[in-house]
Each structure stands twice: as structure tokens, then as C-alpha cells.
Chain A
Amino acid sequence: MREHIQGAVQFVSNNRLKFDRPAQPIEALPDPGQTFGYVNKEVPQPSPKEVLAKLETPEIKERCADLLSRYPVGQGALLEVLWLVQGVFGWVPREGIRWAAKVCGCAPAHALGVATFYTMYNHAPKGKFLLQFCRNISCTIKGAPALIAHVEKSLNIKTGETTPDGLFTLLQVECLGSCGNGPMMLVNDDFATDVENDQLVMKPGTTLTEESIARILKWCYAHEDNVPKHDVLGGIVKGHGGHPGAPGATAKPQVADYAPPSPVLNVKAEADENGATLTWKGAPEFTKIVVEKKNGSKWDVVGEPGVKDKAFVDAAGKVGDVYRMIATSGERTAKPSNEAVTTQKPAPVEEAK
């Protein structure tokens, strides 16, 4: 049995070694179209050299480093890196998927699985303007099927096809999250119901009509040569410190000397002939708790009650003494609790029977 396990480990690690093999010259790589996943033969895949030349630029490297710093494991950034690839090509070629896998440190097959699971990654080149029409329930109520038929007729293509001039691709998609303006369409990344001041707009209370679609298509023809583009990830956020302690999810959540507020609440102290009795409220989230007593400007440790205790008695305590409590959870010590001034315990009132 032991040999079997050792053999299995050896087998896995052998494969691992193969997987981590040094980079081969690009010319030596097999044709991606022939070897990597199911590939539609009608979609010509760019050569690895072409793909890598476009992807391995300083800007993209910088963005990838920024993305990778956000997640405890590199694989977390896979979706975002695939978006970067789509931003460069307008679609994700197979070699781009392989590159994304390398950047994120995961298996190429995994990246291919992810890239084909999500519907927004295009696996074939699209037209310059990707028109996505919503066909979900709210838009159907407001007449989306008739509108889509109208667009199909005016562009002379069917859903899923690209016009021969390579300008428009028409798609039907599920809910776009703007049902109040339904029927709704996306032109590339913009929600559009009309054109205003030479820009696509979606205003509350407006909706797509045959006339406004004509205006939008006219706008598209006018911007044929310089298609307005958005950053695929909506811009760069500066100033964040990255994921704390990446890689590895067991990193400390906060800086070492950060002290959270005290989890011990409402400390009260009452004195009687047996000394001062402390009571408090608090969730059982701490691992150690210390009672301190004020002595001039210093605080003396008086005792350490159990974590599950409900009260603590300081035999030397008397009226006027000031107490506070400090809780520790793991390696982190919280701020001190409120300072409680000892009061005289009221005499028990005997109820009249």
C-alpha cells in the first residue's frame, strides 16, 4: 500500500515537473488550433508569436501585477486577466487563454474551462459594434421580439451573425439589468436607448424604439473608424495596498499593532464586605481576559478570570476603586474596556410576603 501511495506521489510530481518545464521558443510550440481544446475550424487562430507580441507589453505586465496583488492566490485574477486579453483582441484566442493561465499560475485546461463557461468571452472575432439585445421577460413584455426582428431586417443578418462589412454583430442575451428602460440593448459596453450630443445615452423613462435604433445605427456608422472604447476593467484604482500577505489565505488580517475596540462591555464593580465584585457583558470571542486596578497613574493586574466566568471578586476592593478589563483574542489584544468606579452594593431588599 505504501509503495502504491509513493508511486502515485511520484507520478503526480513527475507530471508537475513536466508542467513547470522551462519556456520553449515560440517556434517550437505546437499550433494551438490543433491541440488546445475544441476549436471551430472556421475561426483562424492567430499564431502564438503574434499573440504574445501583443500581450507581453509593459502596460499589460503592470496591470497583471496589479491584478495578481489583489488576490491571495493568482488564480483569483484569472477572469480579470482574460478580460485584458479580450480588451486587446476583442475576443480570446486560444493562445491568449494559455497565456492567461501562465500569468495566473493555473493549468491551461482550467483556464479554457473558465473561458468557455462564461458567456461574455468571445471565442471568435466579432464586428466592431456588438449589439446585444435583451430577450428576458420584462423586455419581451415591452416588445423586444418585434424590435429584434426589425433590427435583423434592417441589418439583413440573423441573430448571432456579423454583417459582411464586419461592422455589426447581433446577439440576443439574457437580462441586462435595465428592465425599467426595456426593451434594452448594449452597444459594445454602453447601455443605449438613444443618441444625444453625439453620445449613446440611457435616460430614465426612455426606451428603444425603431426610430431611436435608426439613430443609434447612424451613430455607429459615423464612428466606424474610431470606435469609442472603454477600459475592460473600468479603469485603474490607485492607492490600494493589495491583498494582505498575498499569497496565502492565512495571512494576518490587520497590521500587528492594530487594537480592536474592547469586546468586553458594561463593566460594573460593586463593593460589599467580601470585596469588590466585577460583572460585565461580552461575546465569548476572546481567549484571555485580565482585570486591572488603577493605582495612581498606573494600572496593576489584579487577576485573570476564566473566559466563561460571569463575575470576578477582588477581595481587597473597596468603594471608589477603579477597574478595567483587557481582552485578548489569539495574538491580538483589544483596547481596554470602560473604567468602572466601584460603588456600594445596595442591601438586598426583602420582598414582603
Chain B
Amino acid sequence: MAECVKVCTQNFGKGAQDIEVYKKLGGYANISERLFNMSQFELIDYVQRSNLRGRGGAGFPTGMKWSFVPRNSGKPVYIVVNADEGEGGTFKDHFLMLEDPHRLIEGLIIAAWALGSRAAYIYCRGEFLPCIESINKALNQAYAAGYLGENIMGTKFCFDIFVHRGAGAYICGEETALINSLEGQKGQPRLKPPFPAVSGAWKSPTCVNNVETIMALPWILQHDPSEYAKMGTPRAGGTKVFCISGDVKNPGVYEAPLGTPMMTMINEYAGGVVGGKLKAVLPGGSSCAPLTAEEAAVATMDYECLASMKTMFGSGAMIVINDTHNMVDLLNCLGNFYSHESCGQCTPCREGTGLLHRMLNLIVEGKGHDGDVELMQSLCGGFGGVTICPLSISLGGPVSSYTAKFRADFDEYIAKNPDHAKPRVQETYRPGIFW
């Protein structure tokens, strides 16, 4: 394992929660004359040249996102940090906020300068109370040290950061749902357009960025953007914090350059597969299509390679599955999850995820019938493009890919039903008996 430059995780385990330690480690060096003499356009150009792409899952270029924010609309510009990390297998933001909250604050000041923002909100999911405590402690220290509040470093620039505790809704990780939740409403996604960059929180321009994206900024500003771009692939620069979980020896958070081969991540960083042979890998969180062992052998962890293999890079959350598991059980977990977390706004998602969930439950309980798999596949075909947000596709995608790649597992479960060849009795589909 080649030693790589640590961008976001360099202060892990060094006690950087305290501002003095963080400053000794080179923190807050960016909050200086150099930053405050830079114009917004220079800074945005700087980030664009670093090829930084959003780390939350969609991978949108950060500099471009910032350049969309209008500056003379007469309304304040809000920055919202998306710390509502709820995707199965993703836990990087949890440890980033717990170990290095000051880096998030420093990154936010840089982002605020680039966008001319006056106030930022950190939307942290409700379960992460230890993270919120860590951030609040850091905020108190930063206010006392004069990095936040009014007249930062004598520049007349004012900037405040507020932490908003969510209350347990996966869908609030979607940026428009997050904005709704910030406004004190139900976390249901909004139709786009208008995009949040133009009309977001309280109808003002709003920029929603992931925790890791913001935390990469101090390093980029300290070094050269070309140095950051050099570390990744031609179309996406830098390093990525990968979260490896599942059947590996050392699950955890590892930082590596984009484009690292998948098997290097599993064998060298995470210590290899345990409990059996490698069966499948989910490369980007629970909502992406799995790769079989053969595909994983040739895959590299970057946006382009995984897109070409018809899965996605997502948040870089690798879930490793060995051959002792039946994929139907795991898909049933996802069915539970997505049908529970559907916000109920769009009918295809609310009903469709529920129907898939009930069918998967029946198959797992040994009441599957021939033709169930085909029925599920046909249901998934109806999800694309008919809902406001991609939650239904997050279940539809896995269902169609699991059934295509691991059909034998499904047939094994369906064969457990002695009557599997008979047509299904209609009553079992009636929603009333489940709800």
C-alpha cells in the first residue's frame, strides 16, 4: 500500500478537536490576508482548477456549482453543509466531524468567502449527537478566537455557522428535502427547477455541499490546485475518503487517491475478505448495483470506471459481501429500508417501494412464486423519471441488478415454496393485510 497524501483525514487520532492542537497542526493557516485579498472569482477558479467534485454521491464539480450562485440578487447566500449521512455503508462524515471539526469550520469560512455568504447551516442528522457536540465545542472555540462572528480578522467580513439537528429521515440527505427540513417543514424533496443555487432556503440562493467536499478546501488552498488535481483521475481530482464495511478484516475509513483499484482497497487497506470467498461488492453505498467478484477484480474506484460498469461511485462506501450470504436477504434489508424511508410524496415511490418490500418479504419467508422476479423487474422499469427525487430508483436499481446478476439466489429461495409453480393467490398482494 503506497503511502498517500492525506487531505481530509490527516488529523485523525491527534486530538484535533481542540483549537490549539489544530492550529499547531497547521490549521486556520488559510484564514489570512491571502484569502481575504482573493476575489470570489479567483477563488472559484482556484477550486475549479483543482477538479474537486462533490463527495456526497452525485459527484457534481464543486467549482461549477459555486459559479451558478447569483451574487447580485439582493438576497443573502446560504451555505448548507449536508451532514445527513444515512446511506447504508457510508460513515465517513461521522468520523470526519468527530475527529476534525475545525477543518470543517475552516473550509466553511473559505466557502463563505467564495460565495459572499453571511450564514451557514450544518444540517447534521439526529443520530449523530456526539458529532454535534464536537462541532459545537469547536464553534465555541472558533468564536472565541475570532475566526467567526463579526469582523473576522479585521476585514469587516461577518460569518456565522449554525448547527441544525435533524430528526431521523434518510430522505433529508437529498438537497431540496434538506432545505425543506431546515425551514421547519416535512423533509420532502422539491421539484427542480428552481435549483437551490438560485432559489433554495427561504427562496434565497443556497449552496448545499457535503462535509468531505468542504473539508478538502483548506488543503487545496494551502497547496496548489494542480497538485490536488494530479492525485486523482483526469476528470476528478484529489483523494477520497472511502468507507469499507462488511466482510473484511479491518473495516473502517481510509483515504486513498481516486482511481485506486478496488482489490487494492479491499486487500491492502481493509486486510482482505474474511469468512469466505468474495461474492459481490457494492462500490458506492447501498443504492448502487453490485459488482460480482470478476467485475471487482478489474474495477477502479473512480466515477468514470464505475459508471462504465453500470454502477456508481456514489459516496465511496464499499460494502464487501462474501459467499456465505444470500443476496435475497440483503436485498430484503434494502426493501425494508427504502420503503420505510420513502417520504410518501410521489405515488410510484410510495407504492412501488412498498410493493417490492412486501414481495421480497414473501420470497424470504418461503412464499415466493415463479414469475415473482420478472414482476419485480417490470416494476423497477416504471420508476425512472416519474418521481421528484431518485429514492425509488435507489431501490429499483439494486432490485433489477441483483436479480440479473444473482438469479440463482432468488430461484433457490423460491424453490423452498412447495407451491411455487401455482399461480399466486391474489389476496397476498392486498396492502391491507400488511399495513
Contact = CB atoms under 8 A, between A and B. Distances in A.
Partners in one complex: yes
B202 interface: yes
B184 A78 contact: yes
Nearest to B133: A234
A121 to B, nearest CB: 6
Nearest to A243: B119
B165 A135 contact: no
Given A179-B317, A250-B75, A285-B71, A142 B91 contact: no
A329 B72 contact: yes
B156 interface: yes
A159 to B, nearest CB: 12
Given A175-B87, A249-B75, A253-B117, A79 B127 contact: no
B408 to A, nearest CB: 19
A117 B344 CA distance: 10
Interface string B127-150: 111101101110110011000111
A220 interface: no
A262 B38 CA distance: 8
B87 to A, nearest CB: 7
A235 B137 CA distance: 8
A141 B275 CA distance: 11
A243 B251 CA distance: 41
A146 B184 CA distance: 38
Interface in A165-197: 173-182, 186, 189-191
Given A79-B166, A79-B184, A141 B76 contact: no
A205 B250 CA distance: 6
Nearest to B167: A118
B30 interface: no
Contacts of A110: 185
A142 B250 contact: no
Interface string B237-279: 0000001111100111100000000000000000000000000
A35 interface: no
B144 A137 contact: no
B311 interface: no
B251 A244 contact: no
Contact of A249 (B117, B135, B203, B247): B203
B256 to A, nearest CB: 15
A271 to B, nearest CB: 27
A254 B157 contact: yes
A205 B76 CA distance: 44
Interface in B335-350: 336-337, 340-341, 343
B75 to A, nearest CB: 6
B40 A261 contact: yes
B105 to A, nearest CB: 11
B68 interface: no
A243 to B, nearest CB: 6
Contacts of A239: 140, 143-144, 148-149
A233 B168 CA distance: 14
A173 B169 CA distance: 11
A86 B148 CA distance: 30
Interface stretch (A39-47, A67-75, A209-217, A310-318): A67-75
A343 interface: no
A120 B158 contact: no
Interface stretch (B325-333, B351-359, B409-417): B325-333
B399 to A, nearest CB: 14
A115 B319 CA distance: 33
A253 B319 contact: no
Nearest to B76: A253
A175 B40 CA distance: 38
B140 A244 contact: no
Most chain A CB within 10 A, of B119, B181, B317, is at B119
Given A77-B184, A253-B118, A287 B72 contact: yes
A283 to B, nearest CB: 5
B246 A141 contact: yes
B388 to A, nearest CB: 16
Contacts of B167: 79, 82-83, 118-121
A137 B202 contact: no
Given A136-B286, A179-B90, A241-B149, A119 B184 contact: no
B396 interface: no
Contacts of A176: 127
Contacts of B132: 233-234
Interface string B71-104: 1101111000000011111110110000000000
B163 interface: yes
B395 to A, nearest CB: 12
B334 interface: yes
Interface string A69-105: 0111101111110110000000000000000000010
Closest 10 CB pairs of A and B: A239-B143, A234-B132, A118-B167, A120-B168, A78-B184, A249-B202, A179-B245, A75-B184, A253-B76, A261-B39
Given A138-B245, A237-B163, A287-B72, 8 more contacts: A110-B185, A119-B167, A177-B128, A186-B127, A230-B133, A237-B162, A244-B119, A255-B150
5 contacts: A180-B244, A237-B162, A249-B75, A258-B158, A263-B39
